[in-house]
Amino acid sequence: MHRNLLLTSAGVAAITGSCLFGLAGLSGSQAELQTATSPVLTFEVASIRPNMNTSSSSSIGFQPGGRLVATNITLKMLIKVAYHIHDYQFSGGGLHWLDSDGYDVVAKGDAAATHDQVRMMLRSLLAERFKLVVHRQTERRPVYALVVAKHGPKLHKNLNGKEFPEGSFRARDGHLIAYGSSITSFADFLSGQLDRMVINKTGIKGFFNFRLDWAPDVTQRSSRPSIFTALQEDLGLRLVAGDGPVEVLTVRNADRPSPSEN
């Protein structure tokens, strides 16, 4: 099933074409917001129902008031959002339905909850309704370092002076427009595009507006350059291949929610 994702801060919308995964912010390897000694964060109310629509479009988004709304979303995508990981960090443990069954989710938490706290609430919800058990470990894998190219960066500073909420990235078919993003958030976006961790090694501080055009499929002829060339020509940045620690999440258990739990 072909699925497309748009994660926004103001609302939810489905798109067609390439995947848009606007998950700027915490990386999966950063410290947890919820520890063994801190209160467990949960939604006040939540509904999970199998999606009965024949459309292949999917959407998930954080809404004002501590709400999370998802339409025709798989458990795999819910896990990726909850733990802020990319495909290369995910192992489904042989459970193929994780990426095929679609669900509609509406959940509401504390109105003052941050996006990161909503993620923690989603983790609790998945453990309760899907009996989700995951194992996290660090492995040494291929990575890219994002560095400044030879002739210096070509970046357009965002005049607001602060990072926009999640969802500032708009990407489709090798076209990207982003507003008010840090370089670290931009590196996280590139991680999703390249299916490999990209680590910000530029040393550049501040928030920027990005516009980038590249050939999304290198196996097909295109007038646009590869993403590696586009980064150097348009933004004055380049990617250097190497290896480093990458956090990997493996699903140890997951059950379909029973009808009484929908």
All structural domains of the chain with their residue ranges: 139-245
**Model confidence at 20, in pLDDT bands (50, 70, 90)?**
very low
| pLDDT tens per residue across span 165-205 | 654 788 888 999 998 999 999 999 999 999 999 999 999 99
What is the spatial distance between Cα 25 and Cα 10, in angstroms, rounded to a whole number? 16
Annotate 49-87 with three-state secondary structure: EECCCCCCCCEEEEECCCEEEEEEECHHHHHHHHHCCCH
| pLDDT tens per residue across span 29-50 | 333 444 444 578 999 999 999 9
Taking only Cα atoms into account, the Rg of the chain, rounded to an integer number of angstroms, comes to: 19
Q: What pLDDT sits at residue 260?
A: 52
Residue indicated by tokens 């606007």: 22
Q: DSSP E strands: which ranges in the chain?
A: 45-50, 59-63, 67-73, 90-91, 103-108, 133-148, 156-157, 169-172, 175-181, 197-200, 208-213, 237-253
Q: What pLDDT sits at residue 261?
A: 52
| pLDDT tens per residue across span 120-171 | 999 999 999 999 999 999 999 999 999 999 999 999 998 877 777 654 788 8
Q: What pLDDT sits at residue 258?
A: 74
What is the spatial distance between Cα 208 and Cα 206, in angstroms, rounded to a whole number? 7
Question: To the nearest whole number, what is the mean pLDDT of the chain?
Answer: 83
Q: What pTM did the predictor assign?
A: 0.77
